[in-house]
Structure 1
């Protein structure tokens, strides 16, 4: 069994809760209140900035050319493809880039980004890859699990967002990341990778929960 499949099985109970989280289910049905989606988009834009920095850190410590090239490719994809999609989305939600940049990341968002950046700064390149994997992988699986719900969806903004994560380009990007982990993680301490993967999976669940409850700093 490939390492990524082992990790995926270890996190299955967390991922099943992600797939059925109220935010996800209502988003796919089209019934999610738009103010919750606006909150999510602003927070996720800030998260993507952190993810781009993470892949830049990965590139800086890559120990062979292929890993360096792929790390730079992932950073570029985050900084262009996903960011460009979000800029278009902001306009459709009557939001501006200033709205995003002037909004402080929520506690869960801050903690998740810090987890990834600290792992990429202090850990190995493979540990960095593993810390980012649940984000990409769950977003690829969510549309597959909730595909039937889309039939009820009458919100074109939500459908466009969903289609981004079931596109050929996104699936290829995520598959590339999975294959990189399998290729380079063979001789790494599995238990260490498992802890990182599980923690990132927990943060993925918490991110959806944060958005659904429109989390704010308590003080």
Structure 2
């Protein structure tokens, strides 16, 4: 069994909760309050920047040309496919980039980004890849699991957001990441990769929960 499939099965209970989270379900139905979506979009900027930095760190540590090239392509894909869509989205929901930049990231957001960046800074290139995988992979699976809910959705902003993660470009990008992990992780300590993958999966769930509850700093 490929390493990624083993990791996916290990995290199945967490991913099921992600697919059924109220933020996700209401977003796909089109009933999510715009206030919650705007909060999510504001917080997502910090995370997208963090992921681009993570792939740049991966490129700096790559031990062969193929991994270097793929890491740079992943960084570029994250900075274009997702970021281009992000910047278009701001105007549609009445936000400016200045508002986004002036908003402090929430506790969960900072913790998740720091987890990925510390893994990519201190760990091996494969550990770095595994730390980013749940984000890309769950976003590809969420539209597949919740495809029936989309039929009820009449919110064009939410539909456009959803379609980004159903696009050929995004699926190809995520599939490339999955294949890279399978190729390079064959002789790596599986239990170490599992801990990283599970932790990132937990943070994925917590990020949705953060957005749904509009998380604030307690002090």
Answer yes or no: same fold by TM over 0.5: yes
1:85 aligns to what? 85
Residue of structure 1 in register with 2:53 after alignment: 53
Give the CA deviation at 1:31: 0.2
Which aligned runs of 4 or more in structure 1 are off by greater than 3 angstroms? none
Give yes or no for the alignment of 1:163 onto 2:163.
Answer: yes
Q: CA deviation at 1:78?
A: 1.3
User: 1:136 is matched with which residue?
Assistant: 136
- What's the counterpart of residue 38 of structure 2? 38
**How far apart, in 2, do the equivalents of 1:128 and 1:104 lie?**
25
Shift of 1:192: 0.1
The count of corresponding residues between Structure 1 and Structure 2 is: 219
TM-score by length of structure 2 reads 0.99
- Equivalent residue for 2:18? 18
Counterpart Cα distance in 1 of 2:136 and 2:81: 14
| Equivalent residue number for residue 188 of structure 1 | 188
Does residue 127 of structure 2 align to residue 121 of structure 1? no
Residue 77 of structure 1 and its aligned partner are, at CA, apart by 1.1
What is the TM-score with the length of structure 1 in the denominator?
Answer: 0.99
Q: Do residues 214 (structure 1) and 214 (structure 2) align? A: yes
Partner of 1:176: 176
RMSD over aligned CA atoms reads 0.4
Q: Could you tell me how far apart the structure 1 residues matched to 2:81 and 2:200 are? A: 23
How many angstroms does 1:156 deviate by?
A: 0.1
Contact 2:30 2:153 in 1 (8 A): yes
User: Aligned partners of 1:128, 1:191: CA distance in 2, in Å?
Assistant: 15
Unaligned runs of 5+ in 1: none
Q: What SS is found at the alignment partner of 2:180?
A: helix
Q: Tell me if the contact between 2:43 and 2:105 (Cα under 8 Å) persists in the aligned partners.
A: yes
CA distance in 2, matches of 1:37, 1:126: 33
Look up the match of 1:7: 7
**Shift, 1:81, TM fit:** 2.1
Which residue of structure 2 aligns with residue 199 of structure 1?
A: 199
Are the equivalent residues in 1 in contact too, given 2:81–2:170 (CA < 8 A)? no
Distance in structure 2 (CA, Å) of the matches to 1:26 and 1:13: 20
Unpaired stretches in structure 2, ≥5 consecutive residues: none
Paired with 1:196 and 1:95, the residues of 2 have a C-alpha distance of 34
Deviation at 1:111, TM superposition (A): 0.1
1:95 aligns with 2:95: yes
